[in-house]
């Protein structure tokens, strides 16, 4: 049994991390988000209700769990308040939330800059979620960001005006309208609501670990969107890989027990960037519709492709995956022949890695193996043994190609449709 479990999106995000984290959170005492912000969209379905979380950790529904927003996050206070109101309207109290005093704050000027920078990039645009994530992390690294500790301090007004003046210069330079000083007022109201939640979460996590609490780390986005390991520059600005846990939460690297890679039974991507196994055809459209593959944050149609074991092997390597959770297996039901990308061909050579240069990655042609599909409804299966033989073979092939044990799989959106093959937490 593991005390600390990390849930990592192992492709380009949207793998179903919210569902798995929420499921595993039943056994956890503490749930931690360690990077990203409201660019994430975690969908959780239980008791016939669908909840969409962008910022709050997925254990928020159970008041006996501690939910921590770690120091590696960038938090838009306006979005946070709205999300808290939404979840509270369903009757959940949400008084089990702790926000790191070292987390950075996203202000309106970050969102405005996100849009202006994208526009100025023309063909080179990233296709961001326009939530101000990149500009907020840029300020963090440039050492001009405002952290939660400052946001809730008495000095905030002075700090805000200084930063606003600086940021308005950038906004004007990019052709935008400067943000009025009046914008402070709303933040002064919001911060009073947030103030009691802000604390030293680094000490809190370490104390919980010493007490023997089970801690679940909830990654957002995916390893291939990682600023270092991802398909740069078409990446997010944080570290959604397992390395980000240590930086973004303050728990030592030697305290991590399990790294569970969340993987779709196929592949999706939102925004720009190369995607060798992409299906630009009616089968891709079919999978998009059956899998409801539209962005939880932006509602953009997701790009669809076959499962790619080259990507997964890379992801497994950089994350140190110790287990796999295969999601959305039911979406593949009814497809006669399934393909898995097992290598790329680049300039006549077969390769098993991701080239650093995007131009080279864009030129990679996928090489596939084919497996027979299944037509039986699998949405009610309760164990691996109940799966049709072709579905079992498909899972076993993924396991063999990636070299990591499958510890659970999912056959539908409901919490009940998660089949655990091996104890995780
Ligand atoms: P940003 O994180 O808004 O800066 O967007 C950078 C890239 O990451 C874009 O391609 C986005 O579509 C992608 N991205 C950001 N968050 C998510 C997510 O939660 N799921 C999938 N893609 C994401």
Percentages (nearest 5) of helix, strand, coil residues in the chain? 35, 20, 40
Say if ligand 1 is within 6 A of residue 237 CB.
Answer: yes
Other CB atoms within 10 Å distance of the CB of residue 347: 8
Q: Residues for the chain: how many in total?
A: 425
In the reported structure, the alpha carbon of residue 145 is separated from the centroid of ligand 1 by a whole-number distance in angstroms of: 21
Q: Which value, in Å, is the radius of gyration of the alpha carbons in the chain?
A: 21
pLDDT at position 45 is 85
In the reported structure, the alpha carbon of residue 129 is separated from the centroid of ligand 1 by a whole-number distance in angstroms of: 6
pLDDT at position 119 is 97
Q: Which of 14, 38, 226, 308 is catalytic?
A: 14
Burial class (CB in 10 A: 0-12, 13-18, 19+), 236: buried
Other CB atoms within 10 Å distance of the CB of residue 295: 17
| Atom number in ligand 1 closest to CA 134 | 4
Q: Which residues pair with 100 in a beta bridge?
A: 199
pLDDT at position 323 is 98
Tell me the pTM.
0.95
Instruction: State pLDDT tens for residues 358-376.
Output: 999 999 999 999 999 999 9
Report the run of H or E that residue 342 belongs to, with start and end. strand 337-346
Say if ligand 1 is within 6 A of residue 398 CB.
Answer: no
Beta-carbon contacts of 346 under 8 Å, excluding residues fewer than 6 positions away, are: 355, 360, 363, 364, 365
Determine the angle formed by the axes of helices 77-88 and 183-194, rounding to 10 degrees: 50
Bridge-based pairing state of the strands 30-33 and 49-53 = unpaired
Domains of the chain listed by start with CATH number = 4-99+199-258 (3.40.440.10), 105-193 (1.10.300.10), 265-310+328-402 (3.90.170.10)
In this structure, which residue's CA is closest to atom 2 in ligand 1?
A: 236
Say if ligand 1 is within 6 A of residue 126 CB.
Answer: yes
| 308/341 Cα distance (integer angstroms) | 5
pLDDT at position 1 is 64
| 253/361 Cα distance (integer angstroms) | 32
In this structure, which residue's CA is closest to atom 15 in ligand 1?
A: 39
Q: Which of 104, 221, 240, 327 to mutate to test the pocket of ligand 1 (most atoms within 8 A of CB)?
A: 221
Which residue from 15, 20, 59 is spatially nearest to 40, judged by alpha carbons?
Answer: 15
Q: Give CA torsion, residues 314, 316, 320, 324, to 10 deg.
A: 170
Say if ligand 1 is within 6 A of residue 262 CB.
Answer: no
Q: What is the DSSP string of 349-384?
A: EEE-S--SSHHHHHHPEEEEEEEE---S--TT--SG
| Atom number in ligand 1 closest to CA 39 | 16
Burial class (CB in 10 A: 0-12, 13-18, 19+), 7: buried
| 46/326 Cα distance (integer angstroms) | 19
Q: Which of 8, 9, 13, 72 to mutate to test the pocket of ligand 1 (most atoms within 8 A of CB)?
A: 13
Q: Is 42 a catalytic residue?
A: yes
| 232/16 Cα distance (integer angstroms) | 23
Say if ligand 1 is within 6 A of residue 133 CB.
Answer: yes
pLDDT at position 2 is 74
The mean pLDDT values, 10 residues at a time, for the chain of 425 residues are 91 92 93 97 87 94 96 98 96 95 98 98 94 98 98 98 98 98 98 97 97 97 96 96 98 96 97 94 97 89 97 98 98 98 98 96 98 98 98 98 98 92 94
| 284/331 Cα distance (integer angstroms) | 11
- For the chain, report the end-to-end CA distance as a whole number of angstroms: 6
Burial class (CB in 10 A: 0-12, 13-18, 19+), 375: exposed
Q: Is 14 a catalytic residue?
A: yes
Q: Which of 38, 42, 104, 308 is catalytic?
A: 42
| 138/126 Cα distance (integer angstroms) | 15
In this structure, which residue's CA is closest to atom 19 in ligand 1?
A: 40
| 115/117 Cα distance (integer angstroms) | 6
In the reported structure, the alpha carbon of residue 296 is separated from the centroid of ligand 1 by a whole-number distance in angstroms of: 11
Q: Tell me the two tokens of residue 52.
A: 């969409």
């Amino acid at each position: 049994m593991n005390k600390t479990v990390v849930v990592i999106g192992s492709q380009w995000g949207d793998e179903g991390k919210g569902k798995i984290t929420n499921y595993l959170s039943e056994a956890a005492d503490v749930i931690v988000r360690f990077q990203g912000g409201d660019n994430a969209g975690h969908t959780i379905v239980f008791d016939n209700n669908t909840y969409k979380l962008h910022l709050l950790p997925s254990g928020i529904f159970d008041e006996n769990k501690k939910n921590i927003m770690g120091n590696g996050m960038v938090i838009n206070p306006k979005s946070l308040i709205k999300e808290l109101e939404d979840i509270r309207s369903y009757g959940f109290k949400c008084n089990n939330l702790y926000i790191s005093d070292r987390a950075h704050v996203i202000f309106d000027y970050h969102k405005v800059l996100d849009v202006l920078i994208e526009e100025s990039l023309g063909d080179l645009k990233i296709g961001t979620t326009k939530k101000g994530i990149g500009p907020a992390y840029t300020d963090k690294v440039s050492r001009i960001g405002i952290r939660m500790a400052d946001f809730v301090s008495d000095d905030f007004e002075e700090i805000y005006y200084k930063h606003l003046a600086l940021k308005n210069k950038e906004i004007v330079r990019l052709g935008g309208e400067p943000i009025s000083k009046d914008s402070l007022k709303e933040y002064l109201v919001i911060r009073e609501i947030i103030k009691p939640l802000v604390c030293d979460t680094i000490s809190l996590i370490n104390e919980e670990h010493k007490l023997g609490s089970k801690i679940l780390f909830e990654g957002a986005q995916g390893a291939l969107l990682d600023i270092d390991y991802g398909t740069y520059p078409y990446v997010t600005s944080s570290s959604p890989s397992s390395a980000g846990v240590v930086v973004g939460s303050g728990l030592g690297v030697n305290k991590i027990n399990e790294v569970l890679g969340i993987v779709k039974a196929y592949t999706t991507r939102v925004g720009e960037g190369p995607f060798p196994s992409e299906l630009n055809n009616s089968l891709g459209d079919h999978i998009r519709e059956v899998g409801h593959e539209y962005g939880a944050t932006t509602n953009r149609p997701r790009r669809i492709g076959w499962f790619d074991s080259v990507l997964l092997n890379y992801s497994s390597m950089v994350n140190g995956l110790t287990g796999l959770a295969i999601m959305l297996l039911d979406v593949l039901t009814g497809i006669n022949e399934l393909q898995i990308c097992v290598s790329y061909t680049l300039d006549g050579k077969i390769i098993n890695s991701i080239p650093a240069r995007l131009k080279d990655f864009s030129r990679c042609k996928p090489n596939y193996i084919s497996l027979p599909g299944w037509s039986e409804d699998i949405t009610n299966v309760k164990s691996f043994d109940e799966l049709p033989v072709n579905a079992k073979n498909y899972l076993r092939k993924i396991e063999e190609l990636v070299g990591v044990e499958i510890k659970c799989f999912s056959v539908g959106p409901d919490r009940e449709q998660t089949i655990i093959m091996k104890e995780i937490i």
